[in-house]
Amino acid sequence: MASATDSTSIQQQQQQQLPTIVVLISGSGSNLQALIDATQNTNQDSGSPSLKANIIGVISNRQKAYGLERAQKAGIPTETVSLKRFKDQGKSREDFDDAVATLITTKYQPDLVVLAGWMHILSPRFLAHFPRDNVMNLHPALPGQFDGAHAIDRAFEAFQQGTISETGIMVHKVIADVDRGQVILQQPVPILPSDTLSTLEDRIHLAEHDIIVRGAQAFLDELTGKQQQQ
């Protein structure tokens, strides 16, 4: 019969064998929290998606981002890299991207990088560090609609003008073209006649918490499959 110590050791070994994720954030980190919760969800019958991975680092470009506190409470190492500091030193956005990518690849070497509310468009300099195409983004719009910033606002405005009846969310691979990478998962979100911008935002954010977990797991499964074929 296994002792409690044996069980703990087995659990630690299983965690070490899991794929690893680094998450990039800029704000409150509610989607980060969904990922954290999913890594801790071992109950397959709970109805909530689980994520078979270890989040080994969280990086923010804003020092006061609440998501950093969420990560620290979960025991996840955090880093802050400020674009302003780079600009103050006369350096470029590409230099900033290079520094963030170098930090990820040298210190963490994750299987997957997830952009979860990372409010900074990444340059080809960043992506050059990830030849495996293992960078994933969450975007609150359907493929080909409302690329870039303020997607929910623009979708709601289009609804009010009568040009759309639904919007949605997607997770996709990150390429140089903003929000144009290969779609991993997508989910439509209807816009109700009674909706305000606030209620639509709330419903989209709730759906994001589900799709970012399922998308990360699907992406990891794809990456794992490719590794096994090599």
Instruction: Name beta bridge partners: 20.
Output: 54
The rounded percent of the chain whose pLDDT value lies above 90 is: 73
Exposed (0-12), middle (13-18) or buried (19+): which is 138, by Cβ within 10 Å? buried
Mean pLDDT of 32-48: 81
**Letter for the amino acid at 129?**
H
pLDDT of residue 17: 87
**Token pair in block for residue 43:** 């109950």
Full-prediction pTM beyond 0.85?
A: yes
- Catalytic residue positions? 139
Instruction: Name beta bridge partners: 173.
Output: 136
CA-closest candidate to residue 24, choices 158, 148, 115: 115
79-120 pLDDT tens trace: 999 988 888 888 898 999 999 999 999 999 999 999 999 999
**Letter for the amino acid at 175?**
I
DSSP, residue by residue, 161-195: TTS-SEEEEEEEE--SSTT-SPEEEEEEEEPPTT-
Q: Which domains does the chain have, with CATH numbers?
A: 19-229 (3.40.50.170)
